[in-house]
Structure 1
């Protein structure tokens, strides 16, 4: 996040699951015209990264972070969207691993494993939305148009309504027309570890469904679950939108997309319509 003092690579070097490797989503990303971070990589870059990590198409990839659940769903979205279906997140991440008294590695990381060959991943383009698609969809009222995609915004409610500022200086808060506020923490719950620290895990499916019903209404939520309507997740920069994406996948919703630029890319453009409530 902007202005955060945390350094992921340093935390990884200090403590990690044995055998883990560090995936930097800002490095494995395409350059963007607006300078946005952690955009989806090109097919070639994704394949090159997998090869560097010793990952083959059949390798089971497990992704975790140090919050519990925060950035790992976004990494999973990347793998799944490139067709690497044999992939998972560790629910609760490193804190849950430690809470269950599993060993951690505090030595300096060793070298990468031998390089592998990763041939021609196929990008599922329907899973990703661009700016023009979001603008066109924002003109459709989901209460009257069956063609409207249901846009779920994972930012905190105050940023969605415009009552709270964005963490990125100079960026307006507010929301896209015809979008819905569903803060990503709605799909998560906090767990207390024996060491006294707290971390997040996904709620169970019934609780996630209740949050979706509360946000969209039971009828629209049912349409999403049945695949009669498409849901598109967004957030500040495309990171926590992955939490909503995975929550909907846990409900077996078949049509879920993600707006890669998210609010930063949308609000940076002067022509964007911004609503505040």
Structure 2
């Protein structure tokens, strides 16, 4: 079995002038505990609670049905496949335009001043992707519940069911996306022209899929899609950043402590690269199957204080669907 040296994305290929994202209230904590959310619910400041549960395409469970049967009090459902821009390859949950994002916020009753609190039914899985979307559009007053709905229940807090109460429509100006945070296929391909040296003017790539899919040994969950990886990217399964817990018959994931997240990063890319990443000398891009669990790596890196982070929106699905893409398999 062989492992590849890191492939890096050219920083010179990125836009030289960033578009300015909309400014919202000061940034909220990235993670909240259920107890902290309960306290915020009892406060006077406006909050919007969103269920961003999403399931893999090979899973028969329906997120909207589960939302109707069990959710946090007052929550609205955020469908990441609907709040998205159309894609030439038909890919799901791609980053929306500013107008699509703003329209969704207005339907969900979210104002620019609202503290948006996001959770999912796994614990930590799809909620970081939703948080990435809000932060990329400049809505810094946003957080996820670490442990999600099952941790909320495990802590003995109430849930509701039935038809959710309709949110009061709000006004939300269309924001401008921070384009430095979202990486394109073209940027990933241009990366293949660069050497693997960590000292070059480049960006490192980490892949959140399982190592079996990364190596090309296990099949992809999307029929007809080849497994393997982008040449010289690193394998860093998103589960390496998470702790699996079981309480009162409820199983869920939470983020590991920061020192363990950092050690998982060191194990994947090496101490030299991590030092450069933490010092802001080496930007990093996260990728996965379709841009969903790449959000977990993005959020774990944000917890470490890393600022120069991008997310490859199409991720492996978009990359592998194109016949000209070079796919690497390790034996």
TM-score interval (norm. to shorter): over 0.9
Q: TM-score, normalised by structure 1?
A: 0.97
- Cα-to-partner distance string for 1:160-188 (whole Å, 9 max, x where unaligned): 01011111111111001120000000000
Q: 1:122 maps to which residue?
A: 176
5+ residue gaps, structure 2? 1-55
Q: How does 1:38-57 map to 2 (within 5 A)?
A: 38-57=93-112
Distance (whole Å) between structure 1 residues aligned to residue 147 and residue 69 of structure 2: 19
**Matched residue of 2:245: which SS?**
strand
**Matched residue of 1:149: which SS?**
strand
Aligned residues of 1:142 and 1:150 also touching (Cα < 8 A) = no
Q: TM-score, normalised by structure 2?
A: 0.82
Q: 1:244 maps to which residue?
A: 297
Distance (whole Å) between structure 1 residues aligned to residue 274 and residue 284 of structure 2: 9
CA shift, 1:109, in A, is 1.1
Distance (whole Å) between structure 2 residues aligned to residue 139 and residue 239 of structure 1: 27
Q: 1:150 maps to which residue?
A: 204
CA shift, 1:116, in A, is 1.0
> Is 2:248 the counterpart of 1:222?
no
After TM superposition, the runs of 4+ consecutive aligned structure 1 residues lying more than 2 A away are 138-145
Distance (whole Å) between structure 2 residues aligned to residue 216 and residue 2 of structure 1: 29
Q: 1:135 maps to which residue?
A: 189
CA shift, 1:82, in A, is 0.2
Q: 1:255 maps to which residue?
A: 308
Q: How does 1:182-201 map to 2 (within 5 A)?
A: 182-194=236-248, 196-201=249-254
Q: 1:89 maps to which residue?
A: 144
Higher relative contact order (CA 8 A, sep 6+): 2
CA shift, 1:141, in A, is 3.1
CA shift, 1:119, in A, is 1.3
5+ residue gaps, structure 1? none
Q: 2:227 maps to which residue?
A: 173
CA shift, 1:143, in A, is 2.8
**Matched residue of 2:77: which SS?**
coil
How many residues end up aligned between the 2 structures?
Answer: 275
Q: How does 1:2-13 map to 2 (within 5 A)?
A: 2-13=57-68
